[in-house]
Amino acid sequence: MLRALREIEGGMKLSLNAAGRLGTLRKPPILESFLRQVYFTGVTASTGVVLRASFLGVLIIAITMDVLDADVDMAVKILLLVVFREVGPLAAAVVIILRSGTAMSAEMAMMRISGQTRALRYLGINLYDYLVVPRVAGVMVATLALTFYIQFLAVAGGLLLSPFIIEATFMELASRLFDLFTPVDFYYSIIKSLLFGFAVSACCCYHGLNPPDLTQNAVPKVVTRAVTQAAMLVLTINAVFAYIVFGILFFGLVTAKV
């Protein structure tokens, strides 16, 4: 219990510090580190999701039409809702946690254990500036970009490939998509993916910089803890966000009626 409270407090401090120091991104080595983070988190991750994301769209349309016996209208509506509001940001967050969260927490734990963070401090380099800020900002940008990429691929894949398995043309699906698309879906996924990126990177940085002990054995413990907590954070944010937006905004506070 005490450890959990300490972790929450530490995570909050780290997040506030990172948010307050975003201006240091102008410094050349920090900017370089930020760009490197965007490249490794966003660009290199993008190649692996092409097929999976494309088939995701097909699956959603096919299942909706086949299992739920829905028409094209409903299928496209569900594709939009699921891909833009839920699956897109969530899939990007999962990719980021598995690819970059693990690498980031392990790298920082290794730096801490091998005394490289101490070396940085002796060189007068602030750890938040050099290690945390570029990673947090880089992962946020990369999560956003990856979310858009997955959404685009899933929707495009769904529209292009679905005509092979259902009775609907590409034009039919595409025209319904443009009719039904609203900017809310777009803003919703921007805010959500930025929050996911922030939570994942802050959580992984916190655990990387605070290993349970300073031995090599601490690295797998750090990675496990960082990944588990990052996943839990993402799911919690997703649930809270969905409740706030759809629960309160659209229907008012939901109360149980006995």
Partner 1 sequence: MSAVPAATPRPAAQMALRYSRHGERREIALAVPVGSVRRVELPDAEAKSSFITAVLKARCEADEELEIFGQPVRNLSAGARQRLRARVGALSPIIGLINNLNAWENISLPAAYHGKPSLAEVATITQEVLDVFGIDPRGFLVRVPDELGKLERKIAAFARLMIARPELAIIESLNDGLSRAECARVAGFEQEYRRRHPAGTLLFVDTREE
User: Is there binding between residue 25 and partner 1 (CB under 8 A)?
Assistant: no
Residues 22, 43, 118, 220: which binds partner 1 (CB under 8 A)? 118
User: Is there binding between residue 130 and partner 1 (CB under 8 A)?
Assistant: yes
Would you say 114 or 175 has its CB closer to partner 1?
114
In angstroms, give the least distance from the CB of 122 to partner 1: 5
Instruction: Put residue 115 in one of left, alpha, beta given phi > 0 → left and psi -120 to 50 → alpha.
Output: left
Would you say 98 or 120 has its CB closer to partner 1?
120
Would you say 182 or 216 has its CB closer to partner 1?
216
Binders of partner 1 among residues 137 to 176 (CB under 8 A) are: none
Residues 7, 86, 107, 172: which binds partner 1 (CB under 8 A)? 107
Q: How far apart are CA 195 and CA 249, in angstroms?
A: 19
User: Is there binding between residue 8 and partner 1 (CB under 8 A)?
Assistant: no
Q: How far apart are CA 113 and CA 213, in angstroms?
A: 8
State phi, psi for 252 to the nearest 5 degrees: 80, 175
Inter-CA distances, 91 with 9, 69, 112, 113, 232, Å = 28, 26, 30, 32, 14
Contact 252/230 with Cβ under 8 angstroms?
no
Residue 255: count of CB within 10 angstroms of its CB: 5
Would you say 102 or 116 has its CB closer to partner 1?
116
Footprint of partner 1 on this chain (CB under 8 A)? 27-30, 107, 110-111, 114-116, 118-120, 122-125, 129-130
